[in-house]
Structure 1
Amino acid sequence: METSTLNFAGAPADARAAAKKRRLIAAAAVGNALEFYDFTVYSFFAILIGKLFFPVHSSFGQLMLAVASFGVGFVTRPLGGLVIGMYADRVGRKRAMIATLLIMALGTATIAVAPTYAQAGIAAPLLLVIARLLQGFASGGEVGASTTLLIEQAPQAQRGFYASFQFSSQGLAALVGALTGVVLTSTLSAAQLESWGWRVPFVIGTLFAPLGYWLRRTVDETPAAARSASASREDAASLPLADVLRHHGKAVFTGLGITIGGTSIHYIIVFYMAIYGVQVLHLPSWLSMMAGCIAGATLAIVTPIGGCLSDRYGRNRIVWWTRIALMLTIYPAFVALNRWPGAVSLLTIIAALSCVHAINIGAMSAMLGELFPRAVRATGGALVYSIGVAIFGGFAQFFVTWLIAATGDANAPAYYAIGCGALTLIALRSMDDKAGKPLD
């Protein structure tokens, strides 16, 4: 009777703990999800956006300007990482997460209502660029603040699992974005898409903001972080960036090495290989979105498995062996695509590589935050992630396109992935595995 009473009394507490866990993960992941949703739908409608916003008669020129306007978002990532990272360390993770979500939503809403070139002239592309700069600024600080909150509130033995939802949410958002694009293009006429249909995905993205704001307002601040932020406010001379550069240089270079390998292969597998299949192998254009859906679904499902494995067997071991597996298979994958070009080979290869990559980034998810002590954790994590993604992820397509032209080898994108992966292996040699250990 007594045991039954105890179980009955404990059940509501267990339910509340589970609900709190789900809310924490959702609150942290929603900003990252919105970023990748925007990335996917902008890419899907890049040709149409170029036509509507840029007064260039060449369709190729319109596409290049549309892609360039998207790429400017990567320019403000490092600045956003520094500013928002320091804000998170000085004021609190929760406030920083709310700020990034609102800035990102403002950028998305601006794109949704922006007038076209025919309606506003040169103001139209300028407004589009400003919107992308805002989104890039917010994205730069998003991962540092939200991942820090996740790993500081996660149980010590589950930090990898909690942090992995940052990248799992990217996959889910990419899948939703791709499906949104497919539904719109298959149900609306070309005239409807050009008139108003292309705005619908950005309106949908903006509507996620109130839910995200509510989730982040109701999540608890990490108590230790709140104390640290209070201490920082009392010390006006305290600058987290200066502390990171002065005392944690080794952690910065280690974090950059880890980020470079992950972001380079991510943009090649999830985004570039589908474009490669259409542009280089001349496969049907519908394969691009199908490949994006498969990669997104794989990341959404498999990434938390990588986080769990890292909690059980150690971050370094899982990242090391999955990185080697990717480095050994990426070149044969491109050789196979060129030898047997087709829908089956492209989708199978992307699914297989995405699965290994998902385990790799799931295991990596908690690493950046674990590199730095609490007082500068958000600043340090945001700094290395935003710089690594801006250069080696944002310019990945440019680098691999140049490699193909320079070498004349259609398999050259694999060289880029292998080289960046080698930097990760070097960085891992100096990484202290923190799985299951207390945070500093």
Structure 2
Amino acid sequence: MSSAEFIAEDRAPEGARPPSRLRQLAAASIGNAVEWYDWYAYSFLAVYFAEQVFPESAGNSLVPLLSTFAVFAVGFFMRPVGGLLMGAFADRRGRRAALTLTILLMGGGSLLVALTPTYAATGVLAPFVLVLARLVQGLSVGGEFAASTTFLVESAGPGRRGLFSSFQYVSTTVGQLLASGIAALLAALLTEQQMGAWGWRVAFLVGALLSLLGLWIRRGAQETLPEAPDSSREGPIPHAQGGSAGQRAGARPGLFEALRRHPRESLLICGITAGGTIAYYTWTTYLPTYAQVNAGFDKADSLTVGTLSLVFFALLQPLGGLLSDRIGRKPLLLGFSLGFAVLAVPLLHLVTDAFVSLLLVQCAGMVLLTGYTAIAAAVNAEVFPARVRAAGIGFPYSLTVALFGGTAPYVGTWFKEAGHADLFPWYVAALCLVSFLVYLTLPETARQKLAK
């Protein structure tokens, strides 16, 4: 059956308003970009507000910055909780309701960061407010992947699931670039003293305002879960989820139903994600620092290389998604994982203090990485049935990212401090090899209907 026939089967039922695929794509992508702008703005601006919120320890000026990044880590480990809670909410109340809630939480968290008082004015209340804001943001971003993944893939139809899936990482990268760009613009326009006093707050206020834009776009989206409480008002985007709402709504899924009834699939998500997340965070986040620490690369140049490679990476994603819709998911996953298992060590050893060397290494890794990132949303969504799809993806995915992706910079730095910097590339290669073995066991799902 052709992809056009698949899409035709996925159209709204007779009498329902035809869905706007572009509006659905915008609702997920723009909202996701705003989410990640808010998330990354914290790390880019921490150096400016650290001393405002945390007092310096006697004789150690690094204490405020270290404390600020400790709060960053706390937010990171809230992501599995968000994946579980927001995923279950998406399965019970609908994808659109969950997307609306996640962007409200992220916008509220950004506003709270912007309004965080200084330690000098309020004492311990200042770090308490910052921790609370970061917990809210961690909850939000953990739930965002679960909700937007299911929403994107369910909006697309089997013939375009790979293409729609690719916009998960397109929008994530756009959010990251927007955060770094606004932080750089503020730093260029304001003095160091102004940035420390109030300039950093502007970026978070911008994030809160952008969240309102994302909220407006998402409220106009159409529900993709037919039995959701509000699906009848907008008209669902049905796909391969047979059966009437009355037959399937019944008792709504419990919080741990996905883990209880689908333990194999939950472990599968962990195996699918492990290699992908370590490669992603190594190549998009840690590589500039790796080059500085291990090859003496210039700090400013490493940030320039990182920005250029992220733009290149964003442009690659739709191409990878389209390719997977033509040839299947497995060839891309196997190419990604085997490529990193074999090439991670030599690629990282090729990094020198030359601008071109880092640019080529980072872009080469981005090409391989696209085999995972462009289709991760589709592959994950194709593992679980609709009833528990969001929660089934959200918790194991976010937990694996927290364990292996979020810790990549710390593990790399630890190896360096222990005198074994050469072991980090092998660590990346080993996790990618584990995922390669998992991918070998996966059935090809590109041309199959989504599970009911």
Please give the TM-score of this superposition, normalised by the length of structure 2: 0.87
Which one is further off, 113-122 or 279-288? 279-288
1 CA distance for matches of 2:68 and 2:225? 44
Q: Which has the higher helix share?
A: 1
Could you say which residue in structure 1 is the equivalent of 2:68? 66
Cα drift, residue 234 of structure 1: 4.4
Q: SS where residue 429 of structure 1 aligns? A: helix
Gapped runs of 5+ residues in structure 1?
Answer: 1-16
How many equivalent residue pairs? Answer: 419
Task: Write out per-residue CA displacement over residues 90-116 of structure 1, whole angstroms, 9 at most, x where no aligned residue.
Answer: 111110110111011111111112112
Q: Is the CA contact (8 Å cut-off) linking 1:182 and 1:289 kept in structure 2?
A: no
**Counterpart AA for 2:442:** M
Residue in 1 aligned with 2:289?
A: 275
Matches within 5 A, 1:9-24: 20-24=20-24
Equivalent positions of 1:32-431 (< 5 A) are 32-57=32-57, 58-222=60-224, 224-226=226-228, 234-235=250-251, 238-239=253-254, 241-242=256-257, 244-337=258-351, 340-406=352-418, 408-431=419-442
**How far apart, CA to CA, are the structure 2 residues paired with 1:251 and 1:352?**
31
Change (3 A) 1:326 1:229: farther
CA 18–270 in structure 1, closer or farther in 2 if over 3 Å, else same? farther
Matched with 2:10 is: none
CA RMSD of aligned residues (A): 2.1
Q: Tell me, what secondary structure is at the counterpart of 1:355? A: helix
Aligned partners of 1:208 and 1:399: how far apart in 2? 34
Rate the CA distance shift 1:70–1:389 in 2: closer, same or farther, 3 A: same
Using the TM superposition, give the Cα deviation of residue 410 of structure 1 relative to its aligned residue in structure 2, in angstroms: 2.6
Partner-residue secondary structure (3-state), 1:59: coil
Residue matched to 1:433: 444
Q: CA deviation at 1:55?
A: 0.7
The SS at the match of 1:360 is: helix
Q: CA deviation at 1:39?
A: 3.6
1:389 alignment partner AA = V
Residue identity opposite 2:42 in structure 1: Y
The farther-off stretch of 72-81 and 288-297 is 288-297
Query: Does the 8 A contact of 1:174 with 1:293 survive in 2?
Result: no
Match of 1:27 in 2: 27
2:204 and 2:89 map into 1 onto residues whose CA distance is: 28
Would you identify which runs of 4 or more consecutive aligned residues in structure 1 move more than 4 Å?
A: 227-234
1:348-368 deviations in Å (ceiling 9; x for gaps): 321221232124310323111
SS in 2 for 1:196: helix
Percent sequence identity over aligned pairs: 35
Tell me, in whole angstroms, the C-alpha distance in 2 between the residues paired with 1:178 and 1:113. 21
How far the C-alpha of 1:229 sits from its partner, in A, is 7.7
Query: Residues 223, 405 of structure 1: CA spacing in aligned structure 2 closer, same or farther, 3 A cutoff?
Result: closer
C-alpha displacement at 1:254, in angstroms?
1.1
Cα drift, residue 325 of structure 1: 1.5
- What stretches of structure 2 of length at least 5 have no aligned partner? 1-16, 232-243
Q: In structure 2, how many angstroms separate the alpha carbons of the residues matched to 1:247 and 1:223?
A: 20
Q: How far apart in 1 are the matches of 2:288 and 2:439?
A: 30
